[in-house]
Amino acid sequence: MPELLSPAGNMQKLKSALLYGADAVYCAGKAFGMRAAADNFEKEELFEAIEYAHDRKKKLYLTVNTIPGWREYEELKTFLRGLADCPPDALIVADPGVLTLAKELLPHTGLHISTQAGAVSDADCTFWQKQGASRVVLARELTFEDIAHIRKNVSKELELEAFIHGSMCVSFSGRCLLSNYLVGRSADRGCCTQPCRWNYKLYELEEEERPGQRLPIVENELGTFIMSSKDLCMIEYIPELIEAGIASFKIEGRMKSAYYAAVTANTYRMAIDAYLSDPGHYRTDPAWIGELSSVSHREYCTGFFFDSPRLAGQTVTAPGYIREKGYLAVAQSYDERTGRAYFVQRNKVFDGARAELLTPGRCGVPIVIEDMRNEEGEKIDAAPHPFMAFSVRTDLRVKEGDILRGVKDPE
């Protein structure tokens, strides 16, 4: 059975991912992780997160996958030693020096090789296993054929992990210098400003017969997006992913919301379980595609799984994100005696609005916001304030952690 691995940029996102079906989460401390702009975890928060996951028989992997310079190794030693009292299930590393130090200071903690290492062959994977790795996160540029070949030609004890959903990078395995070149923030140190997503206009500086005249070269009326990759979405290819021998299905998105963590984990959990329960009659549920369309995303594609490492067809045709449904509130409890569900607001909610209720293990079901009341039981027309508590009347048996989300009105 493959592991479903979800991103956890903070404690709220971690709890959402685990509640909605993730088998494991990956996160970072306040240093040495490739998503420096995420909230990430202080030491005490990290220990709390590890214990929270273990109490639920889930796993937590800690990313230590930057490429530190020699000046940072004393800090890195302190960081790793600090994990000894409550170690994660594995460290995700990319640098040989970090791996060597981790083996010395945390000898009983698993080692996973980050996609930043760019493993593209069985020779790569075997090398990392000989260095002590129990898992390799494969480069995103591999096809199904490549993965099947690697799986066949490496030790059965070595696990293979692959990204199945989320943002893609136009540079090979995230090895990009553009952010550092333009604004002095290195992608290889977790500080990427994503300049590949910016709206560029290309100019020929001077044409021989038109000195001083710049000629714009644009792709369409919105601009040129020659470096901005589409997002990866493999929900329609669960059988192929399982049959390829991938041990861990990884979802990208530590910078995304708790709603994103919940919806992506929930959707892939339903699909994986459906396939494993009856492979012969498995079909992709169109509702799953609808669920993944409800989160913030760019245009979707299938990455390199079915194609060689070329960018044709994998760059966006328009800027920005697509988002179809709003994250309104999270359920706290349900009173069966009164038929009232209690929520905490995330975005403004209106009495009488059409919405959907998302529960672990199923797609969203319609709900109408009725008889909305504040904490004092007074009738209100809306919950406009962040984290405002309110209740509604409903026949749906709402559970703690259920998500209330908005829907578009029919045109």
Q: What is the pLDDT of residues 83-100, one digit of tens each?
A: 999 999 999 999 999 999
Task: Please tell me whether residues 295 and 352 are part of one structural domain.
Answer: no
Phi-psi category of residue 72: left, alpha or beta, with phi > 0 → left and psi -120 to 50 → alpha: alpha
Q: What CATH number is attached to the domain comprising 91?
A: 3.20.20.70
CATH number reported for the structural domain that contains residue 377 in this entry: 2.40.30.10
Give residue 353's identity as a one-letter amino acid code.
Answer: A
Domain presence at residue 311: no
The residues, any chain, with a CB within 8 Å of residue 66's CB and separated by 6 or more, are 32, 33, 34, 94, 95, 188, 189, 190
Which run of H or E residues covers position 403?
strand 403-406
Encode 225-246: b = buried (16+ Cβ within 10 Å), e = exposed: bebbbbbbbbbebbebbbebbb
Domain containing residue 390:
327-406
What H or E segment, with its residue span, contains residue 258? helix 258-277
pLDDT tens digit sequence for 4-51 = 999 999 999 999 999 999 999 999 998 786 655 557 899 999 999 999
Task: Give Cα separations from 226 to 9, 187, 206, 319 (angstroms).
Answer: 29, 19, 22, 11
Residue 306 lies in a domain: no
* Residue 376 belongs to some domain of the structure: yes
Which letter does DSSP use for residue 29 in this model?
B
Domain count, the chain: 2
CA within 13 Å, CB half, 49: 33
In this predicted model, what pLDDT tens digit does every residue of 135-176 receive, in sequence order? Answer: 999 999 899 999 999 999 999 999 999 999 998 876 656 666
The single-letter DSSP state of residue 297 is: B
Looking at 238, 266, 301, the residue that finishes a domain is 301
Same domain, 95 and 33: yes
Confidence grade of residue 198 (pLDDT, cut at 50, 70, 90)? confident
Measured between alpha carbons, how far is 164 from 212 in angstroms, rounded to an integer?
48
Q: Give the list of residues 6+ apart from residue 382 with CB closer than 8 angstroms, or none.
A: 348, 349, 350, 351, 372
Whether residue 225 is contained in a domain is answered as no
